[in-house]
Amino acid sequence: MALYRDHAVVLRTWKLGEADRIVSLHTHDHGKVRGVAKGVRRTKSKFGARLEPLSHVTIQLYRGKGDLDTITQVETVDRFVSLRSDPDRFARAQALLEAVDQVAQDREPDPELHVMLVRGLRTLDQSDAPLVVAAFFLKLLDHEGVMPELEACVSCGEDNPIVAFDPIEGGVLCRDCRRGRPITPEALETLRRILGGGLAGVLAEPVASHTGEVDILATLLMEHHLERRLRAVAVLDQTQY
Amino acid sequence: MSYSTTVQELIDQLGRLPGIGPKSAQRVAFHLLKAPSEDALRLSRAIIDAKERVSFCSRCFNLSEGGDECAICLDSRRETRMVCVVEDSQDIVAIERTQEFRGRYHVLQGAFSPIDGVGVEQLRVKELMSRVADEDIEEIIVATNPNLEGEATAALLVKYLKPMGVRVSRIASGLPVGGDLEYADELTLGRALEGRTVLDTGNDSQP
């Protein structure tokens, strides 16, 4: 199979040579794939704007001998117009892309992750709900099999009142074992609802006092799992004022 | 086989330049070693001169030679009420080639790209805001690239400049001259339709 077709979200692009670009894609059936879009930077290119980061496309690629496939055809599925015109949402959408780019493995099919990313971007495009990024990070960790323990204290397992949260321990801690950072009951409840099937309800809520806390906790967990800082999140913090 | 320390150092330094891999670095190094010494010295002198004399303009962050402000900012014939915002100094050269713009510039030194860690603080946005506050500027023309990062940069500038009461415009985008509608992508074609120009209003009673 030299030529193949797939659905894909463009994660990142790099310039290559005079007029080409390397495009990093997360596909439905082929995992993370890097392809070369020949001549895409020329004004007369047939790909044009379709291969910019954030685009959801159907794509045809040619699998050659090397690491990079050659992109032969692209059609747009979603353009996510509001993500492009609002700097704040743009930064948040890039945070999703960065997280997926870090988690996904080359040519390791993960249709569920692809669907999650598309849904995440669609939600962000349509609603601008405050907790989309945090919820996406938590669901992504769940998908990776590293969901934090939120029910009982991770250290002693007793059903004592929860007061702290530590990404290194991998969950919440009671008063006797507390470590890491304090957690409020509202934030804990929100985390439980996101991972326990109450996602739609959480996303429908307006900004509250614990929204920032949930955001920070989700980012801490994500960065702990990736073992690196997320650059888009750092930029996001300076955009909000 | 490894080279002497001096040659290896030259190869290593050349290899750090963009677009030059280890093999190319080797080729350039040997070319320089074989070339007459005045050729090599001329190159080294050019690098030193450029680094010593060229700096960033204190007003617009364009490249400026031998002074605090660049030649465009110092030119008294230039319109001072129009400022064209671009991503890089190279873009100024492109716009100057059109000979359509007689105002001043402002170079952001990059584009808004959170995934690369470039946010408001990494761009010269604050400097642009203080120019709008201090100078008598009527219009800001945003001439960032018509790609994802450039559009996001434009949206970001609108967000920051809105409270300042200055006219902000965006360069038009559409189909390239000599292009073909059939092969145009939806985004470009959509933008071309959105920003269409009126050929005839249809209101004239006389021919």
Q: What is the DSSP string of B70-125?
A: -HHHH-TTS-SSEEEEESSHHHHHHHHHHT---SEEEE-SS--BGGGTB-GGGTTH
From B155's Cα to the closest Cα of chain A, the distance in A is 6
CB distance A235–B147 less than 8 Å? no
CB distance B114–A76 less than 8 Å? no
- How high is the pLDDT of residue A223? 92
For the question of an ipTM over 0.85, the answer is no
CB distance A95–B114 less than 8 Å? yes
- How high is the pLDDT of residue A1? 56
CB distance A46–B183 less than 8 Å? yes
B148 touches chain A (CB under 8 A): yes
- How high is the pLDDT of residue A241? 41
Model confidence over B44-56: pLDDT tens digits?
Answer: 999 999 998 899 9
B163 touches chain A (CB under 8 A): no
Report the residue from B117, B148, B183 with minimal CB separation from A53.
Answer: B148
Comma-separated ranges of CATH 2.40.50.140 domains in chain A: 3-80
- How high is the pLDDT of residue A98? 93
- How high is the pLDDT of residue B20? 87
**Mean pLDDT over the full length of chain B:** 89
Q: Are A26 and A9 in contact (CB under 8 A)?
A: yes
Sign of the torsion formed by the C-alpha atoms of A127, B112, A228 and A17: positive
Report the residue from B152, B155, B185 with minimal CB separation from A49.
Answer: B185
Helix (H) or strand (E) holding A168: none
CA A226, CA A214: separation in Å to the nearest integer? Answer: 18
Which residues of chain B neighbour A98 with C-beta distances below 8 Å? 114-115
- Structural domains for chain B: 7-55 (1.10.8.420), 75-170 (3.40.1360.10)
CB distance A94–B118 less than 8 Å? no
Sign of the torsion formed by the C-alpha atoms of A126, A130, A136 and A142: negative
Q: Which of A55, A54, A193 is nearest to A134 (CA)?
A: A193
Q: Which of A26, A23, A206 is nearest to A110 (CA)?
A: A26
Which residues of chain A approach chain B closer than 8 Å at the C-beta? 12, 43-44, 46-50, 52-54, 76, 79, 84-87, 90-91, 94-95, 97-98, 101, 231-232, 234-236, 238-239
Model confidence over B94-109: pLDDT tens digits?
Answer: 999 999 999 999 999 9
Q: What does pTM read for this prediction?
A: 0.81
CB distance A87–B159 less than 8 Å? yes
Q: How confident is the model at residue B202 (pLDDT cuts 50, 70, 90)?
A: confident
- How high is the pLDDT of residue B1? 58
Indicate which of A96, A235, A240 best probes the interface with B, i.e. most B CBs within 10 Å of its own CB.
A235
From B82's Cα to the closest Cα of chain A, the distance in A is 24
From A111's Cα to the closest Cα of chain B, the distance in A is 23
Q: What is the pLDDT along chain A (241 residues), one digit of tens a residue?
A: 589 999 999 999 988 888 899 999 999 999 999 999 998 887 667 776 788 889 999 999 999 888 899 999 998 898 888 888 888 899 999 999 999 999 999 999 999 999 999 999 999 999 888 899 999 999 999 999 988 888 888 888 887 888 899 988 888 988 888 888 889 989 999 999 999 888 888 888 888 888 888 999 999 999 999 998 888 888 877 655 4
First to last CA, chain A: 51
- How high is the pLDDT of residue A16? 86
CB distance A94–B188 less than 8 Å? no
- Work out the number of other CB atoms within 10 angstroms of the CB of residue A180: 16
From A110's Cα to the closest Cα of chain B, the distance in A is 22
Report the residue from B121, B178, B188 with minimal CB separation from A48.
Answer: B188
CA B24, CA B79: separation in Å to the nearest integer? Answer: 46
**pLDDT at position B17 over 50:** yes
Tokens of B11: 């190869």
Q: Are B185 and A49 in contact (CB under 8 A)?
A: yes
From A107's Cα to the closest Cα of chain B, the distance in A is 22
From A175's Cα to the closest Cα of chain B, the distance in A is 38
Model confidence over B165-177: pLDDT tens digits?
Answer: 899 999 988 887 7
Name the fold adopted by A3-80.
OB fold (Dihydrolipoamide Acetyltransferase, E2P) (2.40.50)
- How high is the pLDDT of residue A239? 57
B47 touches chain A (CB under 8 A): no
